[in-house]
Amino acid sequence: MSHEKSKLDFSKKSSGVILKNVTKIFQQPDGGKDFVAVDHINLEIKDGEMVTLLGPSGCGKTTTLRMISGFEYPTSGNVFFGDRDVAKIPPNKRGSSMVFQSYALFPHLNIWENIAYGLRVARLPQDEIIRRTSDVVELMHLKGMEKRFPNQLSGGQQQRVALARAVVIEPSVLLFDEPLSNLDAKLRESMRDELRSLQRRLGITSLYVTHDQSEAMAISDKVVIMKDGVICQQGTPQEIYEQPANRFVADFIGKANFIDGTYLGLDGQAARVEIGGQLFSIPTPGKMEGVEVGGSCCLTVRPESFMLTKDAGRLPGAISRATYYGAKIEYEVMLGNQPIIVEVYNPQLTERFNVGDTVSLSMIEGCVRVLK
């Protein structure tokens, strides 16, 4: 995509989005128990921010997106675009635009006509339609393809057309419903980077729905983790990854090891934890909410936050598997009866271990999270 500044104007049209106590209940037609898809969620998307809703199937992320777009109305709560409550306003009057997983291009219209469709529906003057469509064709690197039809384009090109059609109407909010899931892995990664670059240049307030955690981490200013209709945690990708609020978040985002222990209380800014009869002092941010002194706790350690040595240490283990991936080696270390995954990057610069080797595990300070 072009890196020149776009001629499209979003300076006065992009707006923040606020959800206040939004709930969506689906009534069952057979008289069964009502299904609560979204349960009293609160969310703020700042003007120009890219926020991703992430979670497993059925967590409520798509229903939340549909309530913001207007395809579903909330059972209760408010949806604000700026200071305007749009909760009961039809989709075509909200000023938002959606990019779908299926592209949703009109097969009987060529690329130019597909992109210009929304402008024609809005009855803009012909010279304005030509100007805006020309701008977005250039912006999305579609020049020379205007007369082609969707079935003559690759998946990546079709997705660019779908994005161009969404952007050309200069929406206040841009919504994405798993737009890259139909692309192969390499193209998906390339399109992901292009999409993020475009969003930053245009500065459109954007909400992105995906179940792909790496996608969410790569494109987002803020990630919102959902489960069973509620928000489990929201924060920057780094906060979500390094400071998960609970075991579900830690397990859902990236890989995580969980080591059971006994919480013995705080010592300054460190949590004292007993593991296998040995005492560990774990630096931990914030309060130990929900973890009782003397009660069980769980250490969450990312695979890259371990160090392996052959020296005797406090956490002895044995290598049960070693898998070479090029940029890293992934080891499975048996800590007693518990398998621990350890990732060692730049293996050509580090000591190699073989299956059966006795090793010692140590945790990098500041990279361990103590959870209930």
- For the chain, what percentages of helix, strand and coil (3-state, to nearest 5) are there? 25, 35, 40
Q: Looking at the 3D structure of the chain, how many domains does it have?
A: 2
Asked if residue 238 belongs to a domain, the reply is yes
Of 242, 272, 292, the residue at which a domain comes to its end is 242
Of 187, 214, 242, the residue at which a domain comes to its end is 242
Could you give the strand order of the β-sheet that contains 257-267, starting from the edge strand earlier in sequence? Answer: 278-283, 270-275, 257-267, 296-301, 368-371
Q: What is the CATH number of the domain that holds 276?
A: 2.40.50.100
Judge if 35 and 66 occupy the same domain: yes
* pLDDT for 179: 86
Range of the domain at 313: 255-371
Asked if residue 95 belongs to a domain, the reply is yes
Judge if 99 and 64 occupy the same domain: yes
Judge if 222 and 313 occupy the same domain: no
Asked if residue 201 belongs to a domain, the reply is yes
* pLDDT for 11: 53
- The pTM of the full predicted model, rounded to 2 decimals, is 0.87
Asked if residue 117 belongs to a domain, the reply is yes
Judge if 150 and 24 occupy the same domain: yes
Judge if 48 and 189 occupy the same domain: yes
CB 208 within 8 A of CB 53: yes
Asked if residue 9 belongs to a domain, the reply is no
Q: Splitting the chain (372 residues) into consecutive groups of 10 residues, what average pLDDT does each group show?
A: 52 82 91 90 96 95 96 97 94 90 90 94 92 91 92 89 91 91 82 87 92 92 97 96 92 93 86 85 68 88 92 85 94 93 89 93 85 80
Contacts of 349 (CB under 8 A, 6+ apart): none
- What residue type is assigned to position 144 of the chain? G
Query: Left if phi > 0, otherwise alpha if psi is -120 to 50, otherwise beta: which for 268?
Result: left
The rounded distance, in Å, linking the Cα atoms of 159 and 185 is 14
Judge if 68 and 148 occupy the same domain: yes
The rounded distance, in Å, linking the Cα atoms of 88 and 77 is 10
Q: What is the CATH number of the domain that holds 172?
A: 3.40.50.300
Of 194, 220, 242, the residue at which a domain comes to its end is 242
Judge if 214 and 346 occupy the same domain: no
Judge if 230 and 321 occupy the same domain: no
The rounded distance, in Å, linking the Cα atoms of 267 and 17 is 41
Asked if residue 247 belongs to a domain, the reply is no
Judge if 26 and 169 occupy the same domain: yes
The rounded distance, in Å, linking the Cα atoms of 71 and 79 is 13
* pLDDT for 7: 62
Asked if residue 4 belongs to a domain, the reply is no
Asked if residue 197 belongs to a domain, the reply is yes
Judge if 298 and 200 occupy the same domain: no
CA dihedral 153, 154, 158, 160 (to 10 degrees): -110
Judge if 165 and 267 occupy the same domain: no
Judge if 218 and 280 occupy the same domain: no
The rounded distance, in Å, linking the Cα atoms of 272 and 277 is 12
